[in-house]
A and B are shown apart, each in its own frame.
Chain A
Amino acid sequence: MKRFFRESAAIVQVELIKLVRDPTEIISRAVQPLLWLVVFGQVLAQVRGIQTGQLSYLAFITPGILAQSVLFSAIFYGIAIIWERDLGVVHKLLVSPALRISLVFGKAVAAGFRGILQAVVIYLIALVMHVSLRLDPLAIFAVLVSVMLGSGIFATFSLVIACIVKTRERFMGIGQLLTMPMFFASNAIYPLEIMPGWLRFIAQINPLTYLIDALRGLMITGGESVHGYATDFTVMFAVFGVLLFIAVKLYPTLAE
Chain B
Amino acid sequence: MPDRFAIETSELTRRFGNLTAVDHIALRVPYGEIFGLLGANGAGKSTVIKMLTTLLSPTSGTADVGGFDIIRSPADVRRRIGYVSQLLSADGALTGYENLRLSAKLYDIPATERKERIENALEFMGLVDSADKLVRTYSGGMIRRLELAQAMLHRPAILFLDEPTIGLDPVARHTVWDRLIDLRRNHGMTVLITTHDMEEAEALCDNLAILHRGNISVVGKPAELRAGLGEGANMDDVFVHYAGGSIQESGTFREIVQNRRTAHRLG
Contact = CB atoms under 8 A, between A and B. Distances in A.
Interface of A: 3, 6-7, 9-10, 13-14, 17-18, 21-22, 86-89, 91-98, 252, 255-256
A10 B94 contact: no
B190 interface: no
12 contacts: A14-B102, A17-B93, A22-B93, A87-B87, A91-B85, A91-B87, A92-B85, A93-B106, A95-B78, A96-B107, A256-B55, A256-B56
A161 to B, nearest CB: 20
Interface string B52-88: 0111100000000000000000010011010101111
Interface in B29-67: 50, 53-56
A22 B79 CA distance: 33
A7 B75 CA distance: 15
B93 A92 contact: no
Interface residues of B, number: 27
Given A10-B106, A256-B56, A18 B94 contact: yes
Interface of A is mostly: helix
Given A86-B261, A88-B85, A14 B107 contact: no
Contacts of A256: 50, 55-56
A91 B55 CA distance: 7
Contacts of B83: 91-92, 95
B253 to A, nearest CB: 12
A10 B102 contact: yes
A64 B163 CA distance: 50
Interface of B: 50, 53-56, 75, 78-79, 81, 83, 85-89, 91, 93-94, 98, 102-103, 105-108, 150, 261
Contacts of A88: 85-89
Contacts of A86: 87, 261
The 6 closest A-B pairs by CB, nearest first: A88-B87, A88-B89, A10-B105, A88-B85, A96-B106, A95-B83
A17 B98 contact: yes
A94 B74 CA distance: 11
Given A14-B94, A91-B83, A97 B107 contact: yes
A84 to B, nearest CB: 9
A95 B86 contact: no
A12 to B, nearest CB: 11
B111 to A, nearest CB: 9
A255 B106 contact: no
A92 B150 contact: yes
A98 B109 CA distance: 12
A118 B190 CA distance: 49
B162 to A, nearest CB: 9
Nearest to B47: A256
B54 A95 contact: yes
A98 B87 contact: no
Given A10-B102, A86-B87, A95 B55 contact: yes
B91 A252 contact: no
A255 B78 CA distance: 15
Contact of B106 (A17, A21, A98): A98
B88 A97 contact: no
B213 to A, nearest CB: 20
Contacts of A93: 106
Nearest to A19: B93
B78 A96 contact: yes
A3 B78 CA distance: 16
Given A96-B103, A97-B78, A89 B91 contact: yes
A70 B261 CA distance: 32
B150 to A, nearest CB: 7
Nearest to A256: B56
Contacts of B78: 95-97
